[in-house]
């Protein structure tokens, strides 16, 4: 048996010393015992650097996706909280204070918080030492956020590492990164002997068996079902064959879907009568165990479903161990298996898999020649060699930095750099939520039971919950908020109640049109964005039942809320004709109101500016863009621009229309009481205008409106309460309303979350 100690002894005994003053190297990325490919890679890289270069102090900074973190080894010196921007700033301070010579970032969009993992940029912007970033994913067709993050990452890095020729080509052609800045270093693999598979089989009770193997964290994109479908044909020729599926379900998949994928594979095996030939080893195995499992395999199968995989550690391990490999033609497989080092089969084609398995097993000479070619390539990929290649890149980055030094501190004016965003705290929101739902009001910070609950606030809470889910966070009582909406819906009336007393009695027969529209908005957001299948299933039925009532609405704001909900819903279900028809009707009504009311000096939808004003132009913007109609987009930008001018003080701060009288055409505008819901609506609408138009002024308007919460307002007083995470209820002429109710708190929290999601584009 090849142990970890034996593996270490087989590596080159000569230990190397670094040049260019590299005594302390920090590696940022996930770390074992966290179960993911990046954690395994980062751990192996750190250990290999430490082994090959004993004069280097190499330590790690992992990213935690759980509040409690993991039981890390001593090599971990500092932990980052995935979704907390402040922890990235603290990590930068830690690295700078400790005089680290170089930082190596393991970049993968999904492991860092923020839009497209943008929080890592918060760390990199502050570092004073050279940075080398390994790109584990290089997308050919990135979305806007992914492109912006990778382009700035490349700018902030002294050198970049890719693991495939295609990755190097994408870096240059798609992102405009100079070829001279990119180094190609293969994915590291353990150094194992070229052995006969029978050497290991008895350790797993597989002696006398032909072993097919797939390993790695299990998820639906792995295509294991097609390998199982291929087994009946293979077993007719080789009845002593077993298929081993090695690896635990991916933790994030397990959190969302449990073991549904694995169970579906087990059902498929029974359906095809091959359950006696399939072994599921549902564990995240150690490197030593993995080497032994790979050693026992006669053929390794990687039946992935998508071509857009630019690197695969599991495939690299199998090739490096000299396995005969059958793979679908994803990008990395095409590159690694070229030169007859493996065979490719079409995607989702069990017949082709069966044919190639049978062919390789019948032709032993071909199979062993393939194994040898793969093993020889793998000699270049063993970790001892990869560690030396990384050190050369580190030394080059250090030397280049010494020839072209960067300022140790890049001073930024306030115009160049926007204000830091507060930390997100759900403490007060949780204190307002009980077993029934979200309470409407507070007396200072204590829940006000006498005022009961509203559907309005529970719908807003549901929107926040989905936004937090997209950021990798979780609001524990999400299902309670949606259950409240279900309870509020009247099957006979087709409408929602709104007000419920603390003793759980409905205080109205039918709630307002606005309350109904907000509920549709929340349900549409769940259906369009959430990954929680149970939540989506419940929301889908309620959305279907509640949507028809929107045709009877006369409120412009109810139209707008409903349009926002339909927009979210159609992201996932674009073919729903009922939703399309409702959107068409309500958009036409809103546009007709605009055409009737709009005049020089009054660019609006009606003769009054009242509440949630910015939601009307926002509804035009999202609907017009998704329907590819220019007129609603132009009207949305025009009305939002006029509203921004109306709500801007002489010194530039945001002044929402006051709720104590509002603002009628030709009348006196109410300055107070200013409500948090207005600032939130303005933030949302301006960010949407920025995304659609690309005009920087909208970015500034969103920032201006958000800073109203923080004290840039008429009284210079903050409404955000940093001690609780709540928000005070409004701005009076002489003071702040000290009560922290649900509407105000949610307005702040959703606005903050939206600003955080757009952090990569808001950052100047």
* Tens-place pLDDT, residues 86-105: 889 899 999 999 989 999 99
Of 148-152, 285-289, 375-379, 520-524, the range with the highest mean pLDDT is 520-524
329 has a pLDDT exceeding 80 = yes
d(CA 149, CA 131): 15
287 has a pLDDT exceeding 90 = no
pLDDT at 5: 32
Gap between the terminal Cα atoms of the chain: 56
Q: What is the DSSP letter of 724?
A: T
According to DSSP H, which parts of 159-276 are helical?
A: 165-173, 198-201, 224-237, 251-257, 260-271
d(CA 663, CA 308): 54
pLDDT at 645: 97
- Judgement on whether residues 616 and 477 belong to the same structural domain of the protein: no
Residue 755 structural domain: 598-764
Using alpha carbons only, give the angle 34, 154, 700 rounded to the nearest 5 degrees.
Answer: 100
Residue that the structure tokens 């109205």 belong to: 508
735 has a pLDDT exceeding 50 = yes
Six token digits for residue 296: 């026992």
Longest CA–CA separation in the chain, Å: 92
pLDDT at 474: 81
pLDDT at 67: 83
d(CA 370, CA 343): 9
- Judgement on whether residues 559 and 479 belong to the same structural domain of the protein: yes
pLDDT at 757: 80
pLDDT at 419: 54
d(CA 369, CA 384): 25
- Judgement on whether residues 171 and 83 belong to the same structural domain of the protein: yes
413 has a pLDDT exceeding 60 = no
Domain count, the chain: 4
Which DSSP helix (H) or strand (E) runs through 496? strand 495-496
CATH number at residue 674: 1.50.10.20
For residues 397 and 131, the answer to whether their CB atoms sit within 8 Å is yes
Six token digits for residue 479: 């299902």
- Judgement on whether residues 226 and 245 belong to the same structural domain of the protein: yes
- Judgement on whether residues 654 and 520 belong to the same structural domain of the protein: no
3-state secondary structure of 159: strand
Q: What is the DSSP letter of 218?
A: B
- Judgement on whether residues 235 and 341 belong to the same structural domain of the protein: yes
- Judgement on whether residues 209 and 179 belong to the same structural domain of the protein: no
CATH number at residue 222: 3.40.50.2000
In sequence order, what are the beta bridge partners of 496?
489
Lowest mean pLDDT among 251-260, 336-345, 418-427: 418-427
pLDDT at 384: 96
Average pLDDT in the chain: 92
In sequence order, what are the beta bridge partners of 133?
105, 160
Q: Does 584 map to a domain?
A: no
Six token digits for residue 238: 């080789």
- Judgement on whether residues 25 and 69 belong to the same structural domain of the protein: yes
pLDDT at 16: 61
Q: Does 432 map to a domain?
A: no
pLDDT: which is higher, 407 or 546: 546
Write the pLDDT tens digit of every residue in 204-225. Answer: 889 999 999 999 889 998 999 9
The average pLDDT across 395-402 equals: 93
**Closest to 355 measured CA to CA, from 366, 365, 364, 344:** 344
14 has a pLDDT exceeding 90 = no
pLDDT at 520: 98
Lowest mean pLDDT among 124-138, 465-479, 595-609: 465-479
Long-range contacts: 446-454, Cβ < 8 Å, 24+? Answer: 448/739, 448/741, 449/502, 450/502, 452/499, 452/500, 452/501, 452/502, 452/507, 453/484, 453/499, 453/500, 453/502, 454/498, 454/499, 454/500, 454/515, 454/742
Strand spans (E) along 467-609? 489-490, 495-496, 499-500, 608-609
Q: Does 427 map to a domain?
A: no
Q: What is the DSSP letter of 669?
A: P
Q: Does 621 map to a domain?
A: yes
Q: What is the DSSP letter of 722?
A: T
Please say whether the dihedral angle defined by the alpha carbons of residues 150, 110, 249 and 528, taken in this order, is positive or negative. negative
- Judgement on whether residues 358 and 392 belong to the same structural domain of the protein: no
Using alpha carbons only, give the angle 174, 113, 528 rounded to the nearest 5 degrees.
Answer: 80
7 has a pLDDT exceeding 80 = no
- Judgement on whether residues 539 and 629 belong to the same structural domain of the protein: no
- Judgement on whether residues 561 and 512 belong to the same structural domain of the protein: yes
495 has a pLDDT exceeding 90 = yes
- Judgement on whether residues 754 and 666 belong to the same structural domain of the protein: yes
According to DSSP H, which parts of 598-693 are helical?
A: 615-626, 630-646, 676-693
Q: Does 193 map to a domain?
A: no
The average pLDDT across 741-764 equals: 81
The confidence band for 31, taking pLDDT boundaries of 50, 70 and 90, is: very high
pLDDT at 729: 97
Q: Which of 330, 363, 378 is the last residue of a domain?
A: 378
């Amino acid at each position: 048996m090849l142990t970890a100690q034996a593996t270490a002894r087989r590596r080159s005994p000569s230990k190397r010393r670094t040049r260019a003053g590299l005594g302390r190297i920090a590696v940022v990325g996930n770390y074992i015992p966290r179960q993911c490919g990046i954690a395994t890679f980062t751990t192996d890289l750190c250990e290999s650097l430490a082994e090959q270069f004993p004069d280097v102090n190499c330590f790690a900074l992992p990213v935690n996706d759980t509040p409690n973190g993991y039981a890390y080894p001593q090599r971990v010196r500092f932990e980052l909280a995935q979704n907390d921007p402040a922890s990235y700033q603290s990590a930068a301070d830690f690295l700078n204070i400790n005089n680290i010579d170089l930082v190596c970032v393991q970049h993968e969009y999904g492991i860092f918080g923020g839009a497209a993992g943008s929080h890592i940029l918060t760390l990199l912007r502050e570092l004073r030492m050279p940075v080398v970033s390994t790109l584990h994913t290089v997308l050919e067709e990135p979305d806007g956020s992914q492109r912006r993050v990778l382009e700035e990452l490349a700018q902030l890095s002294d050198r970049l590492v890719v693991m495939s020729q295609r990755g190097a080509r994408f870096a240059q052609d798609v992102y405009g990164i100079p070829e001279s800045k990119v180094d190609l270093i293969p994915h590291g693999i353990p150094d194992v002997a070229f052995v006969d598979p029978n050497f290991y089989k008895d350790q797993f009770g597989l002696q006398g068996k032909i072993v097919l193997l797939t390993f790695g964290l299990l998820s639906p994109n792995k295509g294991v079902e097609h390998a199982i479908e291929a087994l009946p044909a293979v077993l007719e020729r080789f009845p002593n064959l077993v298929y081993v599926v090695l690896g635990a379900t991916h933790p994030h998949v397990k959190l969302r879907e449990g073991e549904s994928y694995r169970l579906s594979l087990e059902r498929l095996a029974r359906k095809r009568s091959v359950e006696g030939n399939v072994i599921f080893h549902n564990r995240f195995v150690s490197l030593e165990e993995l080497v032994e499992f790979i050693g026992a395999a006669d053929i390794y199968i990687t039946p992935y479903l998508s071509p857009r995989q630019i690197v695969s550690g599991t495939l690299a391990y199998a090739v490096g161990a000299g396995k005969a490999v059958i793979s679908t033609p994803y990008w990395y497989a095409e590159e690694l298996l070229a030169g007859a080092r493996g065979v490719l089969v079409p995607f989702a084609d069990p017949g082709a898999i069966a044919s190639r398995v049978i062919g390789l097993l019948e032709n032993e000479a071909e199979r062993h020649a393939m194994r040898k070619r793969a093993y020889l390539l793998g000699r270049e990929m063993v970790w001892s060699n990869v560690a030396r290649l990384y050190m050369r890149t580190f030394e080059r980055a250090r030397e280049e930095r010494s020839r072209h030094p960067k300022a140790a501190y890049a001073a930024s004016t306030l115009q160049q750099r926007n204000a830091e965003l507060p930390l997100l705290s759900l403490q007060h929101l949780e204190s307002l939520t009980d077993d029934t739902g979200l309470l409407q009001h507070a007396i200072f910070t204590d829940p006000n039971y006498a005022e009961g609950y509203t559907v309005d606030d529970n719908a807003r809470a549901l929107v926040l919950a989905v936004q937090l889910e997209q950021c990798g966070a979780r609001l524990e009582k999400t299902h309670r908020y949606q259950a409240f909406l279900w309870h509020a819906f009247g099957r006979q009336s087709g409408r929602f109640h709104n007000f419920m007393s603390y003793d759980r009695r409905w205080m109205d027969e039918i709630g307002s049109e606005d309350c109904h529209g907000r509920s549709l908005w929340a349900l549409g957001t769940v259906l369009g964005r959430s990954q929680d299948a149970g939540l989506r299933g419940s929301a889908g039925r309620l959305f279907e039942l509640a949507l028809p009532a929107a045709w009877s609405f006369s409120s412009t704001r109810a139209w707008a809320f409903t349009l926002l909900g339909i927009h979210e819903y159609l992201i996932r279900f674009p073919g729903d004709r009922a939703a399309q028809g409702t959107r068409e009707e309500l958009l036409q009504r809103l546009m007709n109101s605009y055409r009737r009311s709009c005049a020089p000096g009054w660019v609006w939808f009606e003769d009054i500016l009242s509440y949630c004003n910015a939601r009307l132009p926002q509804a035009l913007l999202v609907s017009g863009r998704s329907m590819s109609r220019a007129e609603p987009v132009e009207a949305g930008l025009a009305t939002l621009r006029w509203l921004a001018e109306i709500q801007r003080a002489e010194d530039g701060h945001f002044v929402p229309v006051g709720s104590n009288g509002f603002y009628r055409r030709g009348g006196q505008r109410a300055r107070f009481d200013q409500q948090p819901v207005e600032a939130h609506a303005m933030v949302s609408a301006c960010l949407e205008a920025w995304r659609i138009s690309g005009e920087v002024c909208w970015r500034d308007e969103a920032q201006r409106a958000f800073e109203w919460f923080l004290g840039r307002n008429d009284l210079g007083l903050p409404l955000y309460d940093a001690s609780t995470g709540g928000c005070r209820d409004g701005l009076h002429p002489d003071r702040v309303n000290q009560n922290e109710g649900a509407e105000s708190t949610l307005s702040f929290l959703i606005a903050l979350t939206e600003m955080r999601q757009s952090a990569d584009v808001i950052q100047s």
